[in-house]
Amino acid sequence: MKTLVLYGSRYGRTEAYAKHIAQALGCRALPVGKAKRKDMAEADVVIFGGGVYAGSIAGWRKAARLLRRAKDKRIVLFVCGLADPAKEKTQREARMLFEKKLPPEQKGTLPVFCLRGGIQYTKLGLKHRAMMAMLIAYLKKKRDKSEEDKQLLSSYGGEVEFTDLSSARPVIEEAERLSKDRNTPSLS
Ligand SMILES: Cc1cc2nc3c(=O)[nH]c(=O)nc-3n(C[C@H](O)[C@H](O)[C@H](O)COP(=O)(O)O)c2cc1C
């Protein structure tokens, strides 16, 4: 079985995870914007990972379109964000963001993993700087600040780095399991 890793990444952390996963699996990692139908046709297992940006996942719109056309694939999904992957809320929101663009029959069926990225404020584009400034203004006024809120406020303007390539192990293992298991139905 052949595996393909697709990713949507603005600042490189999701890309680093995607390349690490592809290297471990001995397959290719492609930015989703460069993926062609031929790439999809050749793959049995498709892993897609995208950075989380205020209610959307980078590259997921295109990836979901490609996956809807290629219905016979076994799929593994992951997000890369600042939110703590150990929290049930982080996992629930990641699944919800993916499922917004999935057909009803695939809802609740696909493996979704949450990996942690980072942020370097001086590297952000103008639009993202403005979005973060609005979020920070909101958090400053918020009454019951969570630990994550406090962390975001204290690191604002600087840099936070949680990227840990070894945390991608479960994604690799799930893709291996799907590619070996002849009984796993494809998601047609
Ligand atoms: C404008 C903006 C919005 C973001 N929104 C979220 C968010 O809603 N949830 C989250 O967990 N991380 C959020 N992040 C953090 C990114 O997901 C994090 O920087 C991630 O590493 C980006 O992946 P990339 O480096 O592959 O682009 C946001 C970052 C920016 C700049």
What secondary structure does DSSP assign to 23-63, as a single string?
A: HHHT-EEEEGGG--HHHHHH-SEEEEEEEB-SS-BTTHHHH
Residue-wise pLDDT tens digits, 55-111: 999 999 999 999 988 878 999 999 999 999 999 999 999 999 999 999 888 888 899
d(CA 67, CA 32): 11
Residue-wise pLDDT tens digits, 143-170: 999 988 999 999 999 999 999 999 999 9
Give the 3-state secondary structure of residue 88: helix
3-117+163-180 classified as CATH 3.20.20.10: no
Which of 20, 32, 52, 136 most suits a substitution to test ligand 1, by most atoms within 8 Å of the C-beta?
52
Domain boundaries, the chain: 3-117+163-180, 119-161
Which of 13, 14, 53 most suits a substitution to test ligand 1, by most atoms within 8 Å of the C-beta?
53
Task: Give the global pTM.
Answer: 0.95
**Separation of 51 CA from ligand 1 center, angstroms?**
6
Whether residue 54 has its Cβ less than 6 Å from ligand 1: yes
